[in-house]
Chain A
Amino acid sequence: MDAIPPHMRPERSFQGFILALQRFWADQGCVILQPYDMEMGAGTFHPATTLRALGPRPWKAAYVQPSRRPKDGRYGENPNRLQHYYQFQVIIKPSPPDLQELYLKSLAAIGIDAGLHDIRFVEDDWESPTLGAWGLGWECWCDGMEVSQFTYFQQVAGVECAPVAGELTYGLERLAMYVQGVDRVYDLNFNGRDGAERVTYGDVFLQAEQEYSRHNFEYSDAEMLFQQFAMAEQACRKYLAAGWKDGGNRREHLMALPAYDQCIKASHVFNLLDARGVISVTERQSYIMRVRELAKACGEAWVHTEAGGAS
């Protein structure tokens, strides 16, 4: 830690905090990926998690994923609710026997001392109806605050995980707020500098929160979104159908990733429609099911690709 300059210390800067986590997981042999270039509701949607969790090949990755939750927008007025925030995602397949210990060490790396704080693993069964996925694990608490999600994936995209992958999701803003000791997300020090050089989270994102809240709740073009949903759904099915090598023998698939992009797209468009309040309770269920069907079909295709397959 001594080598770290003050402005990069995890307790002083948001970016330093992220870099500390990346460094820690890089040291565990993870590939450090960059965010996926599409809008999604959670880091789990990244193909590096959803698809790579499937199939027998070992896989270790860590990355930051901007997560969009259109419904959670509060026009920048709530101290800790955002429609766009960062998740830090770690996926390790097969789950190592010491994953809990690794997780605790990662907390130490960002300045949370387990001898001083009360860290707890509290039951939380994870389920994603849109991804056709479930797993068992915990919410990880630090002094009563939920700071991470810890899951052993049992099933993803309707496919049994064999072997099981372990997934960690850190809520970055919340953890950084704790470590920096601020009560309002917008007060987070982003770059670790003081005085005129200091850039806060609010400097970077407050205006975006206001604008997107306006967009998500009041002005998003519902008509267009409905069409986009249908288009993404059709495109996904089309690519999946076209991807089977040598026609329909369903032994090898060559386009699982592009098809899955359309599934991600459909899911995000659904979230936008939901935030806009144009989907009724009954319709809601059917949209979720439609996305799940896409996810399942993509999972099925993925396990017939080179990276997802047995051969």
Chain B
Amino acid sequence: MPDLLFELFSEEIPARMQARAADDLRRMVTDRLVAEGLVYEGAKAFATPRRLTLTVHGIPARQSDLKEERKGPRVGGPEAAISGFLKATGLTSLDQAKIQRDPKKGDFYIALIEKPGRATLDVLADILPVIIRTFPWPKAMRWGERSARAGALQWVRPLHAIVATFGMETEEPEVVKFAVDGIAAGQTTYGHRFMAPAPINVRRFEDYAAKLVDAKVVLDAERRKDIILTDARQLAFAQGFELVEDQGLLDEVAGLVEWPVVLMGSFDPEFLSIPGEVIRATIRTNLKCFVVSDPSTGKLTNKFIPTANIEASDGGKAITAGNERVIRARLSDAKFFYATDLKTKLEDRLPKFDSIVFHEKLGTQGERIVRIELLTAEIAPLVGADVEKAKRAARLAKADLLTEVVGEFPELQGLMGKYYALAQGEDASVAAASEEHYKPQGPADRVPTDPVSVTVALADKIDTLAGFWAIDEKPTGSKDPYALRRAALGVIRLILENALRLSVLKTAGAAVRGLQGPATRHPVVDSDKLAADLLAFFADRLKVQLREQGARHDLVDAVFALGGQDDLLMVVRRVEALGQFLDSDDGKNLLAGTKRAANILRIEEKKDGRTFDGAPDASLYGLAEEKTLAKAIAQVTQDAGAAVAKEDFAGAMGAMAKLRPAVDAFFDKVKVNDDDPKLRENRLKLLNEIRAATRAVADFSRIEG
């Protein structure tokens, strides 16, 4: 079956858009083909800086003919119905219609409509220009003379040529005949901009790909990445070094070249006095080059690896020399920035924060730092951190935002703070907190463990959450501009992974008090409600988190429903123990029993309009099962209570399990709604005791199943 070759040749496409564009092209063309009844065998799309290419193979040469019978009005039906039928089916007279016999309802007309399939070449000529005109570039532009006309073509950068051929391997393929904004599809493409700019006549994908290689174009981005990575590793290895791999940079570089030529240059080793991360950021951001490390020390060496787009006539000497000059200038800047930064102590930068607005309604960065420091003092003892160190860390943690290096490379925030703190002789934990307090940034990020870092990380995030809650800027739906969900998840992970005992309500309360202090302009009205709202948000995030780990969200609800559960570590321990218990037969049956008790109680409470709180009267127990149950409840309440007090939730569950036979026997033998109202009341009170006893670990009524 025939194949399609489709290439859109343009001026340089931004590297970050290429992969997506290739995908879009493949999807759009194949979707349209399938919608046209043309099922293909395979398709693959490619992108280089100057072209998007699609090959679709095994497309039928024609659409199949469509035969359709359409039912019409009955024979001798009204004139209007018959003329409508003729019009709708395209028949010129009733002679062309078939008559279908139907002895019951009467004979009626049938139109046989035959829609002959079109040649795929013609279908392609219709769909390809539409795809070009509706292509979803993130940003598109007009250009040239035609840009003055209405409906001018928009493309990511000026589009110069279109190749579109269709045909069998054995035959000369045909050009798909169409034109978009004056650019006619044809068989001509171009090679590398500098090394092979002449036009190339192509027939189909096989010769196209081969001719491009001859014309110094590697069509496949994956292949370009392979070449760059292999050559870069090789160049580094040959000198006894190791390439510092960087996937994001590799993707970008592969989108900047059609013919990668990997080179190696060096810079003055005196620059190695700058922190390695700064060197790497400088070289990566400004020059899109890789850096190289020495495997024996793990530190950067004074080498770098540029990827050129050309086999230069001097073997790349001038290119390497040029890159070296740029790197020298950039590293000189970086070194100057770093040296300048070191001249100012971090604390001396703080006053400047007083004139930088954090959020219009939440005051300045300076005010925020004061709040974080205050909150740090509250949290430190709970985390086991040295209070003075934690406060010091909180005071300095943001100071690097005002340094030159971070101004130049925002991605180094925190890390530079650590360097500067160490340089001015801060305690190692205090310095580390500059970097660590931003963590965890996402679900995959590491959670800090040093108590000082943990304290500042918690204070930073909880202040943010309390602040935005106070000014009612909570996340809604998909909108979370201040990344508050991430902050809450960060708090949860900090607490759980460090096994911290922290009252969320108390801590949030302290954060809210901080907001109400002199360091804010918009005092919060109801601090208790705010803290409770925040706790609910944490509960939600915890549910999401536990669900992702496979826990049942109803168990989380069951624990939070107990009320006053704001110790997230304990909540999770309860949920875990509860989950294990409910997996056992004892658990399942006890759950069934408590649910039955709860259902009966709900109905009877509603009927009587009262609750059945209070201790049952032991003298009213007539049946052995009542006595046994009462005894079991007393025992379980005591045992489970003791276990919970020791935070032994598995133990509490074990104790709870002992309730099961008594509950089962009670429901088996005892009629709750006895005719004697006194007995009935007493038995309902006993049921209520079951509910109360199980509440030692969770609200069983919230558990599903």
Contact = CB atoms under 8 A, between A and B. Distances in A.
Nearest to A121: B12
A164 B141 contact: yes
A162 interface: yes
A114 B194 contact: yes
Interface in B167-201: 194
B11 A164 contact: no
B306 A144 contact: yes
A162 B329 contact: no
Interface stretch (B307-315, B532-540, B638-646, B685-693): B307-315
B603 interface: no
Contact of A121 (B11, B139, B143, B325): B11
A102 interface: no
15 contacts: A100-B11, A116-B312, A116-B318, A118-B322, A120-B12, A122-B15, A122-B256, A123-B12, A123-B14, A137-B157, A144-B286, A144-B326, A145-B325, A163-B146, A178-B322
Given A120-B12, A125-B139, A145-B322, 15 more contacts: A94-B143, A115-B312, A115-B313, A117-B312, A117-B319, A118-B306, A118-B308, A120-B309, A122-B256, A136-B157, A143-B322, A144-B289, A144-B323, A163-B145, A166-B143
Contacts of A120: 12, 256, 309
A105 to B, nearest CB: 13
Interface in A165-183: 166, 178, 183
Contact of B322 (A115, A117, A121, A183): A117
A204 B104 CA distance: 107
A144 B287 contact: yes
A282 interface: yes
A142 B16 CA distance: 20
Given A120-B309, A144-B287, A95 B143 contact: yes
Interface in B289-327: 289, 306, 308-310, 312-314, 318-319, 321-323, 325-327
Contacts of B306: 118, 144
A282 B357 contact: yes
A276 to B, nearest CB: 15
A117 B312 CA distance: 7
Contacts of B318: 116-117, 143
Nearest to A181: B325
A96 B287 contact: no
Contact of A143 (B11, B147, B323): B323
B349 interface: no
A138 B12 contact: yes
Interface residues of A, number: 40
Contacts of B525: none
B9 to A, nearest CB: 13
A178 B318 CA distance: 11
B160 interface: yes
Nearest to B332: A79
Interface string A118-133: 1111110100000000
A94 B332 contact: no
B588 interface: no
Interface in B581-617: none
Contact of A95 (B144, B321, B325): B144
Contacts of A135: 141
Interface string A139-158: 00011110000001010000
A41 B224 CA distance: 40
Contacts of A152: 141-143, 157-158
Contacts of A136: 139, 141, 156-157
A97 interface: yes
A273 B313 CA distance: 50
B329 A79 contact: yes
Contact of A94 (B145, B288, B327): B145
Contacts of A164: 141-144, 147
A121 B13 CA distance: 9
Interface residues of B, number: 46
A56 interface: yes
A236 interface: no
A183 B12 contact: no
Interface string A169-207: 000000000100001000000000000000000000000
Nearest to A140: B12
A289 B486 CA distance: 34
A96 B146 CA distance: 11
A55 to B, nearest CB: 10
A227 interface: no
Interface of B: 11-12, 14-16, 49, 139, 141-148, 156-158, 160, 194, 256, 286-289, 306, 308-310, 312-314, 318-319, 321-323, 325-329, 332, 355-357
Contacts of A119: 194
B121 to A, nearest CB: 29
A183 B194 contact: no
Interface string A73-87: 000000110000000
Nearest to B150: A162
A162 B332 CA distance: 44
Contacts of A138: 12
Contacts of B142: 152, 154, 161, 163-164
A144 B327 contact: yes
A4 interface: no
Contacts of A3: none
A94 B289 contact: no
A96 B256 CA distance: 24
Contacts of B144: 94-97, 163-164
Nearest to A97: B144
A119 B310 CA distance: 9
Nearest to A162: B148
Contacts of A122: 12, 15, 256
B141 A144 contact: no
Interface in A286-304: none
Contact of B148 (A56, A97, A143): A56
Nearest to B327: A144
A236 B160 CA distance: 42
A137 B156 CA distance: 9
B158 A97 contact: yes
A114 B192 CA distance: 12
B313 A161 contact: no
A281 interface: yes
| 4 shortest interchain CB distances as A-B pairs | A143-B322, A123-B14, A163-B148, A121-B12
B147 A118 contact: no
A281 B357 CA distance: 9
Contacts of B314: 116
Nearest to B142: A164
Contacts of B286: 144
A145 B319 CA distance: 10
Interface string A230-271: 000000000000000000000000000000000000000000
Contacts of B11: 100, 121
A70 B333 CA distance: 19
A214 B198 CA distance: 55
